[in-house]
Structure formats: structure tokens, C-alpha cells
Chains A and B, each alone.
Chain A
Amino acid sequence: MNIINILDEIEKVDGEIYERLNPRRAAMKSFYNFGSKMAVAAVPLALGSMFKKAYGQTTSTVIDVLNFALTLEYLEYYFYQQGAATAGLIPVGTPAVSAINTIRDHELAHVNLLKGAITASGGTPVSFVATQFDYTAKSTFPTVFTSYPTFLAVAQAFEDTGVRAYKGQAPALMGSPSVLQTALQIHSVEARHASHIRQMRKAPAGGGVTALKPWITGANDSGVPQVDAVYKGEDNVTQAGINIPSLGVSTAAATESFDEFLVKADVLAIASLFIK
């Protein structure tokens, strides 16, 4: 049997498998060599201990997930806080003001909730201040706080990333049902935000991105090529081996009707662009 093939297959559904097993890919290569020398009968036992380590439900796993989520919530909260506090950015006297305030307040609530949960679990919450973030993403979006359409474009990227990030962490929380439920309750709020921000971007003042829908169509419908990574894989049309268009809907509808998850490494790669 070919262990490398199995690991590659798992990587398709769990891109973090190598990180779970060992943070260093190089170490996996030594495992390949080891595996090729093992008797076939011994392989399942070796895999058993390996995967138990990878998928074991421990308190530290849960705290890691919560700190990962907290990092993203800080990223979002300071973004909206700074946007709302920047004179002349959000059009005064429009519904946009209260919408951005609502979203900002939710992100702050998430920050506080996660901090409390991490402390209650015996962990130490990560801590960020506003100045640790660079919302221009190293000058990719230089007008993020001077151009309202740019601000909304980055907001959409954050919200859609947030949805994908929480989704990707759900399996790691299965051993802690109440934490899982809380994460899901945050996850759907982020999706509500994403839906609304997308509508705001359709409006003329928000950029007039008229093709945009509240849901994600295909791979990167944002009109912003710099955020391709946010939408990687959203054009998937196969769920649990079932081809969705074959059920009688268009390819576009097939991609829209299922939001895809992102693994932690992919989310962190996106988030790190905005962290100094």
C-alpha cells in the first residue's frame, strides 16, 4: 500500500494533515522512508498512533482554535473601529454608518467572548493593539481608510475569510460541543456581515460592483484580484462525492449553495498580510 497516496488524499480534505502530524514537512519525508520499509501489517498500527496524535481532542487544541479565532476577530474589530473613526470615510447620513457600527460592535463582542472563553479554559488569550495591524496590506490597499469602496472591498475579504476560517475549525471542536456551538453561532453572524457588505458594495457609493451577490459565485467574484487566496476553492461543485450541477442547478448556483472552508494555514497566510 502506498502511504504517501493516502496522506495526499487526506490532504485534499484536510490540508493541515502534515502540520497536524508534524510541523515540518521534512519530518514527513523521513516517515515516507520509514513507511516504505515497514511490513504492510504493521502500517495500520503506526497510522493509528500517528492520527491519534493528529486529531486528538485536547484542551490545548481547543484553546489553539479559540486563539486563532481571536486573532481574526481582533483583525476585524480594529479594522471597523478605525474605519468608523475616520472622518469622511463612511458616508455621513446614510445607513452605512449604522451598518458598520453594528458589525464593529459584533466583532468586539466576539473578541471579548473569546478572551473570556480562553481564560476560562485555562489558556492565555493572544493580545493585539490596533497599531499591530497594517490594513493597507503592505501598500496593496493604500486607500483603505480614504476610499469608501476600498474599505468595503477589504471588509468583504475579511468577512468571507472569517466565514471560511470558522468553518474550517469546526472539526477540531467536535470534542467540545458547547464550544463548537458557540463557534457556529459566530460563524453565521460573519456570514450575515458578508452578505450585507456585499450588498453595500453593489450600491453606487460603495463601488457599484453590480455583479456581486450576497453569496459567493465561483472563484473570486469580488472584483479584487489581490484577494484570490480568500476565494480559493469556492468554485467547487462536488460535495461528498455528489456533483451538484447534476442535481438540476447551474454551475454558478452549485458554487453559491455551498460555502467552502479554509484550513488554518491558508487563513493565517491571508491574515499575515495585514499584521505588521
Chain B
Amino acid sequence: MKNFQQEDQELLHKESGILTAQLQRRSFLQYAGAGAAGIALIAAGCKKDDGSEGLRTDGVNLGSGDVGILNYAYALEQLEAAFYDAVVKTPYSGITAAELSLLTDIRDHELAHREFFKKALATNAIIGLEVDFSSINFTQRASVLATAKAFEDLGVSAYNGAGKLIKSVDYLVLAGKIVSVEARHAALIRDLIENGTFANSEVVDANGLDKARTPSEVLTIASGFIKTKINASNLPS
């Protein structure tokens, strides 16, 4: 935690330059009560976690509080980036130039997300995960796009479910900035599979709401594609 807090302070410093004021940003934010990252992380780190039944307690530990949620997002972005990297390196047979261009864009977005989380987490970042794509036939359009659809819809539901677990305003906004891009991906991939399915009843309910999943639900689905064991038992709930 200590390292992350230091790193976090540095990030905030770089971001705003508020520390140039005589009043230190840290104490300023305590008074401000604006839910700033560093402060929220201290509180979150001390919070007793609960509701983690059914999650494994061995493997790579995502951590607790906002660090845990960021590592959770980092894990999912690693999975997506690795997938699209493989898709772009060995495109499926019959891929059109337009499709390859769109999938390359998505690869770049996921890479940006992955590297962003890695840098933001710094020494608190989990290791690079080992993926298992043995169930995917990368030469086949249907297999690749079905996997892409599953990953994108999963990513959207993961961020939608994680938002309320985030304590820091800054990180909530960042998660919001990423989730809508994942939703844009999801809609595009769905339309590539079958035009008009961008927001069908598979993903949007009668109230017009997209899905939201808990970390436990998401990691259970994702575990079919990740060899590395992940311990999410300390995540907030």
C-alpha cells in the first residue's frame, strides 16, 4: 500500500501541479472531501473486505481497495490486449481490409488501457498474466469474432459492476472513460457478426440497461482464458 500511495501522490502531482501551492495537496484534499485518490486509498486499504466467498485465495493477489479494482481492470485489459494482438498478427482467413483496420484500432485501444493501468499501478501492478487461447481458432472469422464479442460484453459488464466499488473520484472517472470505449467495441463486434445486434436483448434488458457483473462472476468467465490463477478475495464488495 505504501508504495502505491507514494506513486499515487506522484501521479496526482504530475496531473495537477497543485502542490506548488503552500498548502500541501494531500491535506488540502482531506479538507476538500473531494474523494481524491490518495486519501480514498488509505481508507480503502484499511477496510475489512467481505463477501469474497467462493473466490480462490491462492494465485496472483489483486490486492484490496482501489488498487485491487485497478489490478482487476488491468487483468482484463491484459486478456483483451493479448487476444487482439494475436488476431492482428494472424488475421482470420477472408478478413477484409476494413475489418483488419477496425480490429487493429481495438488492439491499440486495449494496449493503451493495459499499459495505462500498468503505469498507474507501478509497483502494485500484478504480473503479466499467462493466457490460454487454446479454445480459439484464430484462422476462423466466426471463432475470433465470437470470442471478441464475449470479451467486450464481459468487459462492459465488469466495469459497470466495479464502478460502485471504486473509492476515488479520479479512478471512477477513468473507469467511465474506458467502459464506454469497450461498449463501442462491443457494439461494433456484434454488428460485424450480425448487423443490428449492437444492443440486443442478450445484453440490454427491458429497462434499457446493460449488464453489470461482480468481479467474482467476471473472473469465473475469464478464467477459461487465463492460465495464471488469480486471487480476488481481497477486492472490495
Binding site for B on A (CB under 8 A): 1-2, 5-6, 9-10, 12-14, 40, 43-45, 47-48, 51-52, 55, 95, 98-99, 102-103, 105-110, 112-113, 163, 166-167, 170-171, 174, 177-178, 180-182, 184-196, 199, 213-215, 238-242, 244, 247-250, 253-254, 256-261
Contacts and interface: CB of A to CB of B under 8 A. Distances in A.
B112 A187 contact: no
A248 B169 CA distance: 27
A239 B12 CA distance: 11
Interface in B152-179: 156, 159-161, 163-164, 169-170, 172-174, 176-179
Which of A95, A240, A244 counts the most B-chain CB atoms under 10 A from its CB? A240
B176 A167 contact: yes
A136 B176 CA distance: 31
Given A51-B34, A167-B173, A213-B105, A259 B116 contact: no
Contacts of B35: 55, 171, 174
B18 interface: yes
Given A1-B22, A13-B170, A186-B208, 12 more contacts: A6-B18, A6-B23, A55-B32, A95-B196, A110-B208, A187-B183, A189-B199, A191-B183, A191-B184, A240-B120, A258-B177, A259-B184
A193 B110 CA distance: 21
Interface stretch (B88-96, B131-139, B185-193, B226-234): B185-193
A171 B173 contact: yes
A247 B116 contact: yes
A250 B120 CA distance: 19
Given A44-B27, A193-B199, A1 B210 contact: no
Which of A5, A47, A48, A249 counts the most B-chain CB atoms under 10 A from its CB? A249
Nearest to B112: A257
B172 A170 contact: yes
A184 B212 CA distance: 9
Contacts, number: 235
A95 B156 contact: no
B208 A241 contact: no
Interface of B: 11-18, 20-23, 27-28, 31-35, 102, 105, 108-113, 115-116, 119-120, 156, 159-161, 163-164, 169-170, 172-174, 176-188, 191, 195-196, 198-200, 203-204, 206-212
Contacts of B204: 106, 189, 192
B108 to A, nearest CB: 4
Nearest to B171: A240
Nearest to B180: A191
21 contacts: A6-B28, A43-B23, A44-B31, A45-B31, A51-B31, A51-B34, A107-B208, A171-B35, A171-B169, A180-B163, A181-B160, A186-B209, A187-B183, A189-B209, A190-B180, A196-B187, A239-B174, A241-B16, A249-B112, A257-B110, A259-B184
A213 to B, nearest CB: 7
